[in-house]
Structure 1
């Protein structure tokens, strides 16, 4: 049996991720953030003052990637880091006024990216796709 990449969930998921990232990139550039920063922004909009370790635990990315992304976000004026009052080795991450002000527009940009890629889907198809994606992600965390 020949391997057909268009029947490979792994291959298709990779393409889909690239497409979503590209769709968000087009919208996020105007606002002043990169698609790779969006998950961190979402975490900090939900709860400020997290440490880098807490962000790592919540997002399941590599330490070096997190450190580089936070450095870029600090350079771009999206976050500031302060020493943790209870742990001298740790720093807490806080949003700047610039990042706080862009929350609604950034979330709207992400929704617009979703809608552009899922146009033509009926509501139940979209809901099923999201449920299947959540199931696949959960399966991946168990392996």
Structure 2
């Protein structure tokens, strides 16, 4: 006789954390496959994405915006430097800090790389109507903003 499993209090399919983690993992894998065509990988993406928004950040500022540890950011920057996509420049007012800037090659990747990311987003959002997409993005943004406010208090 086969024993029935005890019903979970919160099934995976109703767990926000599980759903977000699975979807995030699938999206990261999909984007990673696309980025390989450019000689990049998903581990470099957050740093490049932030630098395309704003250059001249210090490594600490970059780590905070990417929500990664400083040592992780150091490794990513080392890789991006070897790929000739970024350069470190001495900070004008701090003897210890460096500012991070994209090279021409790093800037040139932006259009193609962000097009790949948009295609990935489109693929994953294709099951939703335009109104549902807008609502999902708005709700997730609202949740992130609430968390950021909670983390400050």
Which of the residues 97, 121, 133 maps onto 1:90?
A: 97
1:111 aligned residue: 118
Partner-residue secondary structure (3-state), 2:20: helix
C-alpha RMSD of matched pairs (Å): 1.6
Moved beyond 4 Å, runs of 4+: none
Aligned residues: 143
Partner-residue secondary structure (3-state), 2:97: strand
TM-score calculated relative to the size of structure 2: 0.85
Instruction: Name which of structure 1's ranges 68-77 and 115-124 shifts more when overlaid on structure 2.
Output: 68-77
The structure with more strand, counted as a fraction of residues = 1
Q: Using the alignment, how far apart are the partners of 1:64 and 1:83 within structure 2? A: 19
TM-score calculated relative to the size of structure 1: 0.90
Is 1:49 matched with 2:62?
Answer: no
1:124 Cα deviation after fit: 0.4
Instruction: Name which of structure 1's ranges 57-66 and 4-13 shifts more when overlaid on structure 2.
Output: 57-66
2:86 aligned residue: 79
Q: Which has the higher contact order (CA 8 A, sep 6+)?
A: 1
Q: Using the alignment, how far apart are the partners of 1:92 and 1:21 within structure 2? A: 28
